[in-house]
């Protein structure tokens, strides 16, 4: 609901983008979303074993890598153990929407995923949004290194970085060549 979003995100002229978030409200919303996600998984049958729920078939949880302390707390409140979760936030940081695919790759690289594995990947983001995917990750088809450019392909060249301008918005514009 709009009222819930408005309690989380509001204008703040002290920040370059004029937006700030209120952490306790974000946590509360993420807890509610996680509960809804787990309830949906518990209501669905495992496609490989109709006698089990989809939730029961989850072998690994790879959440959006935003805040490990908060995610561990949310997971514990939802009845999940820390051992069910994979994190790489300590080495990768929060890379926004890329955090889940990078973490899945790292879980394969680190030997956490060694055979086809059913993964639950919940995400929560700015704008008070949440969503998830349930994936079967086969480590045999996860690239362990960058693929070479196809023959004749031209690499996109980015302009040389310029010194920071002092605001995040300006820095993003420079990064995208605007």
- Give 137's DSSP letter: E
| Separation between Cα atoms, residue 25 and residue 77, nearest integer Å | 16
Predicted local distance difference test score (pLDDT) of residue 25: 79
Q: What is the CATH number of the domain that holds 112?
A: 3.40.47.10
Residue-wise pLDDT tens digits, 59-117: 999 999 888 998 999 999 999 999 999 999 999 888 888 999 999 999 999 999 999 99
| 155 compared with 85, residue with greater pLDDT | 85
Examine residue 151 and state whether it is found in any structural domain, yes or no: no
Predicted local distance difference test score (pLDDT) of residue 93: 86
Average pLDDT over the chain, rounded to whole? Answer: 84
Residue 1 pLDDT > 60: no
Residue ranges making up the domain that contains 131:
2-144+156-175
Predicted local distance difference test score (pLDDT) of residue 97: 83
User: Structural domain tally of the chain?
Assistant: 1
Examine residue 86 and state whether it is found in any structural domain, yes or no: yes
Count Cβ atoms below 10 Å from residue 107 Cβ, excluding itself: 22
- Single pTM value for the model: 0.75
Residue 177 pLDDT > 80: no
Q: What does the pLDDT average to over 30-43?
A: 94
């Amino acid at each position: 609901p709009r009222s819930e979003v408005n309690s989380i995100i509001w204008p703040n002229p002290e920040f370059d983008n004029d937006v700030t978030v209120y952490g306790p409200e974000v946590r509360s919303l993420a807890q509610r979303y996680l509960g809804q996600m787990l309830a949906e998984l518990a209501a669905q049958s495992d496609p490989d074993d109709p006698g089990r729920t989809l939730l029961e078939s989850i072998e690994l949880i790879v959440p959006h890598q935003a805040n490990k302390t908060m995610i561990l707390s949310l997971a514990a409140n939802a009845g999940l153990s820390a051992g069910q979760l994979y994190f790489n936030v300590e080495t990768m940081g929060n890379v926004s929407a890329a955090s889940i695919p990078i973490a899945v790759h790292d879980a394969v690289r680190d030997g956490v995923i060694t055979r086809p594995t059913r993964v639950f990947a919940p995400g929560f983001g700015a704008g008070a949004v949440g969503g998830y995917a349930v994936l079967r990750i086969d480590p045999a088809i996860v690239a362990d290194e960058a693929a070479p450019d196809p023959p004749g392909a031209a690499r996109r060249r980015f302009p040389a970085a310029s010194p920071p301008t002092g605001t995040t918005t300006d820095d993003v514009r420079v990064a995208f060549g605007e």
